[in-house]
Amino acid sequence: MKTERRLRLFIYARIVVIALFLASTIILKLSDTEAISDIQFRGVIELMILACCVSLCSLVALRRQGWLLPLTRLQIIWDILFVTLLLMLTDGIASPYSFLYLLAIMSAGMLLNRQQALYTAALCVILYGAMVDLQYFGLLKEVGLSSDAALQRGNVVVFYTIFLHLVGFILAAIMGSHLAERARLTEVNYEELKQLHSTIVENLESGLLTITRDGLIRVFNPYVERITGMTQHHAYGRPVNAVFPSLAADGVALQQHMQGEFYYRPPTGAPLTIGYATMPFRNMKGETAGLIVTLKDLTGLKQMELALKRSDRLAALGELSARMAHEIRNPLAAISGSVQLLSEHGSLRDHESRLLAIVMRESDRLNGLITDFLAYARPTPPRCERFNLYHLVRDLQALLMADNRFDKIRLILDLSEELTAWADRGQLQQVLLNLLHNAADAMPDGGDIVLSADLQSGIDDAGRAFSLLCLKVADQGCGMDEDTCRHLFEPFWTTKPAGTGLGLATVYRIVEGHGGMVQADPRDGGGTVVTLLLPMMEEGLGENQNSGR
């Protein structure tokens, strides 16, 4: 419990005690008018009214910042003076209220510390002893305190009374402060726990929801805010099915542990795969009060799983197909050679020559297809070197000017003239050519193709520095549906009537051979953007790495 709260409770307790004393004094006076004189009665009433005023003023002053410690000490001093004045108004050494000093001493131990409690005990002994001595010698008659009670006891009893109070006050200071320190060590700081709980919930690397038995949202941590684009303030009190319809459909039974996955489409962006686990929580009575739901965005993990499965599938398919391609190429070479020999024979008729020409042309096309497929199935290991990427792209731009597909297309370059890359120059050129050809095929009516590149550096989770070359080819074509995106890099899968389905598959294998990643996504406003991420060598981190946008 904080000191401010203790002090506030202490002042409230003082007001209650004063009210009880005031009521008991009034009842005593009404029941027996001679039990207390009029002067004493009036003095006690005025003193208690003054004490109430001091307490109320203290509560008001407690709102001021920086006044806590001085105000706490002032309360202890006032209590000591209050008890001393009360004793002087009620026959001094004969007053039954000297035990109130013990409350002031114990309050000092609870509100301050042991040292301050001992100081308080010393001050109580000094004031009490001084009052008794002055009463014994008749020096307080002018304030209405007679010396008769002290003289009747004699000097030995007076001294003994002061000694007993001294021992009692010191023991009260030691025991009270000790118990207060023990209480401070064992008490639960609920404010600290609340702050700790709030910090943990806000910094979790997963989503956290709490749902009441009626299905209303209560806790909605920042991770869930980032997924949904909705704040805690807007989500509080809303039905869970209004935010996560699929989760509400799967989690009807709130009385059991559940886990699973569901698809969620945020207001902006692509659909997400969300994993969840639920656990009921109970209230103070042990009754089920609602449900705790933890959420995790599994979209990236699912994409990695799909990429790994696709890589394994393509590797197996490539190995099998390469063997078949070799077996096809051998008889194809024999057929092509035989047809060539026949075509050189001079006794062929015109229609026979045309048929042999068709066989030769289709044999050459089939041989080219097998060559392309072998390049995909068994790619050459990349021979990486450092080269200027801008110069490579400019050479490609000049090469494509002679292609009829680029007559109505404007190729926009968005990269620094000083940007360098660490890759196999020939393979990277093949990758960019394939991507640009596909972009041009998707834009028969013309438009803009934007080729951008820059370097992205950072620190990974293991604390290692990394640098990635990010290449993007964005077109303004017809775009792709989900099925096309899923099969885009698979061999022999194509949407072109005359396509082989090996262009983007070869791109995938080359990028994979460089240890990179390739991804195609729909472009805002129509079209497609293909992103390549290629790792760069660490020694090149400091060389020409500005993107120059």
pLDDT in tens, 484-507: 776 677 766 666 655 566 678 788
Listed as own residue / partner, the contacts of 336-345 with beta carbons closer than 8 Å and 24 or more positions apart are 336/360, 336/363, 336/364, 336/367, 339/363
pLDDT in tens, 74-106: 989 999 999 898 888 888 888 888 888 888 888
Question: Going by C-beta distance under 8 Å and a sequence separation of 6 or more, which residues neighbour residue 156?
Answer: none
**482: its two tokens:** 């989900």
The whole-number average pLDDT for the span 294-298 is 88
Burial of 161 (0-12, 13-18, 19+ CB in 10 A): middle
Taking each helix axis from N to C terminus, what angle separates 68-89 and 114-136, rounded to the nearest 10 degrees?
A: 20
Same fold for the domain at 308-377 and the one at 385-540?
A: no
pLDDT value of residue 380? 74
**What CATH number was assigned to the domain covering residues 308-377?**
1.10.287
pLDDT value of residue 539? 43
User: What percent of the chain clears pLDDT 90, i.e. is strictly above it?
Assistant: 6
| pLDDT score of 230 more than 50 | yes
The whole-number average pLDDT for the span 5-24 is 86
Domain extent listing, the chain: 3-187, 205-297, 308-377, 385-540
pLDDT value of residue 390? 92
Class of domain 385-540 (CATH, top level):
alpha beta
pLDDT in tens, 314-326: 667 666 666 666 6
Q: Are 344 and 302 in contact (CB under 8 A)?
A: no
The CATH architecture that domain 205-297 belongs to is 2-Layer Sandwich (3.30)
CB burial readout 252-277, b (16+ within 10 A) else e:
eebeeebeeebebeeeeeeebbbbbe
